[in-house]
A and B are shown apart, each in its own frame.
Chain A
Amino acid sequence: MTTTSGTETTTGSLPASEATSADTPTISCRGVWKVFGPHPERVVGSADADLPRAELEARTGCVAAVRDVSFDVAAGRVFVVMGLSGSGKSTLVRCLSRLIEPTAGDVLIDGDDTAHCSAQWLRDLRRDRVSMVFQHFGLLPHRRVLDNVAFGLEVQGKSKSERHARAGDMLDLVGLSGLGDSYPDELSGGMQQRVGLARALANDPEILLFDEPFSALDPLIRRDMQDEVARLQRELKKTVVFITHDLHEALKLGDEIAIMRDGRFVQVGTPEAVVAHPVDDYVRDFVRDVPREHVLTAGGIMRAPVDGEETAGTVTETTLVSDLLPIVVESERPVAVLDGDGRVSGAVDRLIVLRALAEDD
């Protein structure tokens, strides 16, 4: 698994959670399987499990939605799972809070195993630590917006004044001030999903799960909502698992991206790594239309520095290639690349940039 170097996430600003130590990932999946059908446990780990979907179904009557998926998400990071419909990503995200019981494998939240716990523990986990934003918003039609946002707090048993105050704050946060008295069907799709977002944030969870939250929205509104999530994430620093079928959305929001196909992770890596080095044709197909200069960074394409070479100007490792282009075009000489501490860590020249943009490996 690739570790990221391109984005600056400071772990110091994390909310102090008693279970979180520096090296315990907030979410940890270990060999998670979900098989639907008769005797699902027989499929797990068997030779059948590697069969294509149709063959597996013909032979065992089972559908393997998630096959042997493992990943970690560190606190405050955004982990995006990307795949086409039917690839098992929605099932996977439901396994995290055990809305769907995994057939095999472990899910650890802050190091706590969710498999061997009481129903009450699981409820408390969902009430206090994990929230979810749904594809179809999941707003309750009979409740006002304010009471929809307050739903999680109501379930926790908070008093009316307390939860309404908190819900009002959340509506302010997502830019819906003053709409608390409306009913969901009186709002536009984008506004409805803002309500869903506010509801997920209302109980101040450590973990936010997004299940294709914007796929039902118009492209323009979708972009607004992505910006909104990016903004909120900068402010709130939640640990996020984000499901999407939109590569641009994944690249925009993800610290790390997993490409999922037929229940398996095909590739896991930083957005840059996925675009620059797709592992197979499937992923390559996905990233073909991505404007590479908006994803690749100087740090990702640079060569090692040569002692004593003359450079013209400097950029940092996180500089996007799109910003690098005008610089190298102006300069005959290579450009020095500085790491986070201001030391020269590499260099780029025209040839390297052109090769990176043209590359189709």
Chain B
Amino acid sequence: MIAAFAVLLARVWGNPIATWWNFRIGPWIDSVEEWIILHRGNHWLFRWGFDPIARWLHNLVQWDLNALHFVTWPGLIALVVVVAARVSGIRAALTAGAAVFVIGGLGVWEPAMVTVALMLVSVAIVLALGLPLGILSARRPAFERRTRVVLDAMQVMPAFCYLLPCVLLFDIGYPPAVVATVIFALPAAIRLTSHGLRGVPDRLMEVGTAHGATARQSLLKIQLPVARPALLLGINQTINLALGIVVIAALVGAEGLGQEVLAGLQHLDVGQAFDAGLAIVAVAIVLDRLTAGRPLRAARKFRRDRTPERARIEMLAGAGAVVIAIVAGKLWSSGAFPTSIDFSLHDPVNRVVEWCRDNLRTGVPIVGGTGSISDFTVIHLLDPIRDFLTQRPWWEVICGVTAVAWITAGRRVAAACAIALLVVTGLHADGSAGGSIWIDTMDTLSQVLVAVVISMLIALPIGIWAGRSERFFAAIRPLLDAMQVMPAFVYLVPVIGLFSVGRVPGIIASVIYALPPGIRLTALGIREVPPETIEAARSNGATKFQILTKVQLPLALRSIMLGLNQTILMVLSVVVIAGLVGGGALGVDVVYGLTKSELGLGVEAGIAIVALAVVLDRMTQAWAVGVRGVAGSTRLRTPPRAIRIGKTKLLDQLETA
């Protein structure tokens, strides 16, 4: 055995790539693609399967789009204000109305309507599937167990990986965008529903049984209403996730705001991308206000004050306002958003970018300018790591990773890591480095590692501070929320302005995108250290620093580890976007495969990203589980009476689920 192994090693000794096997996944995908292109028009699978679905989805989106055009922009503002006022209260309604107006003023009304139409269809489908499945998995543990693996895979896999097959099956346009969004947001919808329902305590369910309620009555009268706040937050969260992916769907020709951002990036017209990015945030605000609901106290007051007559008057007034607004919109400039209202930031942004380019690149005292920072990072950080990883023979890297996994996380995780990496060695599509996917994978890994380290270096101190200071936490929370809601594309805009293109801007964008969970979970871990424990330490005469290092940090370690895990997954999920701005490697392979119809390459690169995700996710998750302390997840069970759960908490539940 050992002799045979040594012979094998000797044969491949020194070669960074495993040349002597090839899984031929890429070529196989290519042949499937070819077959599909040849048979799309006549094969039964398409005529009776995918084509009708695609047509149906396309018609739904188109119908929504027509409806949005029909109500015109004043009508839409009125509609949003009326609905938000009923659901979330007056202040939310005014914010939402203003956001709609801003979208128009940014000059992106048409693409924004496409994005909204895509969102409406996707979210409707996600909820129509997700709520019943969530109820089912809350009530049937066996169903929950069986679907867990599938849901995990759906959540970990970068959206691009299934965007590709979606395009193959549903062709370019709205349908693959909708399908990809559904795949992306469905697991969260199912999990949040099921989590919310299972958060209803047994003793309340027993009340139903004790009164002779049927299973149906228990569900409708106890479980669903008690879980309502959690369910609403779940819907809200689902919408945010969907919005993130609808934008990416621009890559498959789905138009909308994503296309605007993409075009801006491709032409290095930062102003254009900036306007569209702002509009995306505005859409996110509108959708959030439409679904957020009222806080507990306000909701009760609203319910108490609302007599039937008053409800009827409100209904009529709301409907009347919408109708009047629609008529007004029709009469005034035939419903198109007037071009005279314009607060586009296109030109000022571009001027700022130019100024930065001219003044900050080089020659800034001490730091030396962004260009110098960028060069320094590449030469002293990225290149050495990349060279180390790509020039070692593949089996050395695998053995090293497996050994680390074995020692720190146990046998099973080590096996998973080894298998995942071995799969990558058999991928030989013609990647951006001109070699096999393995080289690109190592390149991406080096960037991911650097991004994760920088993220954690920033997140830890901020998180510790936020964990110890209530005021600071309250101050940065909206910022963290915004950072996560905003599509990753948007971060690229200022980064490109400052750093041009290359690996460094990709890393910086990843860092910004990945910061919130790291900060949040660190802060959460520290905040959840029981006050009695800290009091005990203080009564023993511990200094503030001792309390931090001997009590708070050790107890928060588990939560911090989960933060590390989430940071890694976030960085991996934007590998493709980083690739767009010159990160190269796997990201660029995927984009290239997608846009140039090289699906084989795209899928192989996608598989490599998943393999990296498996390795890093499994390892860090095992670390988090292995640590004693306050678990970010276990202590976050929603108590039944805390009707208003902080959105962040739910988000973290989702992330740690």
A141 touches B641 (CB 8 A): yes
B207 touches A134 (CB 8 A): yes
A123 touches B214 (CB 8 A): yes
B207, B208, B213, B221 pick with most chain A CB within 10 angstroms: B207
Say if the beta carbon of B646 comes within 8 Å of chain A: no
Chain A positions 103-135 with a Cβ under 8 Å from a chain B Cβ? 122-128, 131-132, 134
B221 touches A154 (CB 8 A): yes
Q: Quick one: CB contact mask for B289-308 with A, threshold 8 Å, 1 for yes? A: 00000000000100010000
Complex CA gap A134/B211 in Å reads 12
A138 touches B204 (CB 8 A): yes
Q: How many of B's residues come within 8 Å of A, CB to CB? A: 22
Complex CA gap A53/B639 in Å reads 32
Select one of B203, B213, B226, B640 contacting A134, CB under 8 A.
B203
Which residue of chain A is the closest to B205 with respect to CB atoms? A138
Which residue of chain A is the closest to B217 with respect to CB atoms? A155
Q: Quick one: CB contact mask for A131-157 with B, threshold 8 Å, 1 for yes? A: 110101010111100000001101110
A185 touches B217 (CB 8 A): no
Q: B204: which A residues are within 8 A, CB to CB?
A: 138, 140
B641 touches A185 (CB 8 A): yes
Which residue of chain A is the closest to B643 with respect to CB atoms? A141
Select one of B209, B210, B214, B226 contacting A140, CB under 8 A.
B226
Say if the beta carbon of A286 comes within 8 Å of chain B: no
Say if the beta carbon of B228 comes within 8 Å of chain A: yes
Complex CA gap A128/B210 in Å reads 11
Complex CA gap A138/B641 in Å reads 12
Complex CA gap A143/B222 in Å reads 10
B211 touches A140 (CB 8 A): no
Q: A154: which B residues are within 8 A, CB to CB?
A: 221
**A113 CB to nearest chain B CB (Å):** 18
Which residue of chain A is the closest to B214 with respect to CB atoms? A123
Say if the beta carbon of B212 comes within 8 Å of chain A: yes
Say if the beta carbon of A181 comes within 8 Å of chain B: yes
Q: B304: which A residues are within 8 A, CB to CB?
A: 181
A138 touches B203 (CB 8 A): yes
Complex CA gap A203/B217 in Å reads 17
Complex CA gap A125/B211 in Å reads 9
Complex CA gap A125/B213 in Å reads 11
Complex CA gap A132/B207 in Å reads 8
Complex CA gap A154/B220 in Å reads 12
Say if the beta carbon of B383 comes within 8 Å of chain A: no
Q: A127: which B residues are within 8 A, CB to CB?
A: 211-212
B222 touches A140 (CB 8 A): yes
B211 touches A183 (CB 8 A): no
B225 touches A140 (CB 8 A): yes
Which residue of chain A is the closest to B210 with respect to CB atoms? A132
| Given known A138-B204, A181-B304, contact A155–B641 (CB-CB < 8 A) | no
Say if the beta carbon of A99 comes within 8 Å of chain B: yes
**B235 CB to nearest chain A CB (Å):** 17
Say if the beta carbon of A239 comes within 8 Å of chain B: no
Select one of A136, A155, A185 contacting B213, CB under 8 A.
A155
Say if the beta carbon of B347 comes within 8 Å of chain A: no
Q: Quick one: CB contact mask for B614-650 with A, threshold 8 Å, 1 for yes? A: 0000000000000000000000000011010000000
A142 touches B228 (CB 8 A): yes
Complex CA gap A203/B211 in Å reads 9
Q: B641: which A residues are within 8 A, CB to CB?
A: 141, 185
Q: B225: which A residues are within 8 A, CB to CB?
A: 140, 142-143
Complex CA gap A122/B304 in Å reads 36
Select one of B207, B217, B300 contacting A183, CB under 8 A.
B300
A136 touches B203 (CB 8 A): yes
Say if the beta carbon of A87 comes within 8 Å of chain B: no
Q: B207: which A residues are within 8 A, CB to CB?
A: 134, 138, 140, 151
| Given known A181-B304, A183-B300, contact A138–B226 (CB-CB < 8 A) | no
Q: B228: which A residues are within 8 A, CB to CB?
A: 142
B210 touches A99 (CB 8 A): yes
Say if the beta carbon of A193 comes within 8 Å of chain B: no
A99 touches B209 (CB 8 A): yes
Say if the beta carbon of B396 comes within 8 Å of chain A: no
A99 touches B217 (CB 8 A): no
A156 touches B212 (CB 8 A): yes
B212 touches A155 (CB 8 A): yes
**B223 CB to nearest chain A CB (Å):** 10
User: What residues make up the interface of A, taking CB atoms closer than 8 Å to B?
Assistant: 97, 99, 122-128, 131-132, 134, 136, 138, 140-143, 151-152, 154-156, 181, 183, 185, 203
Beyond A123-B213, A126-B211, A155-B211, list 7 extra A-B contacts (CB 8 Å).
Answer: A126-B209, A138-B207, A140-B226, A141-B226, A151-B221, A155-B221, A183-B300
A-B contacts, 6 of them at CB < 8 A, read: A123-B214, A126-B210, A126-B212, A131-B210, A141-B640, A155-B208
Closest CB pairs A-B (n = 4)? A127-B212, A126-B212, A123-B212, A138-B207
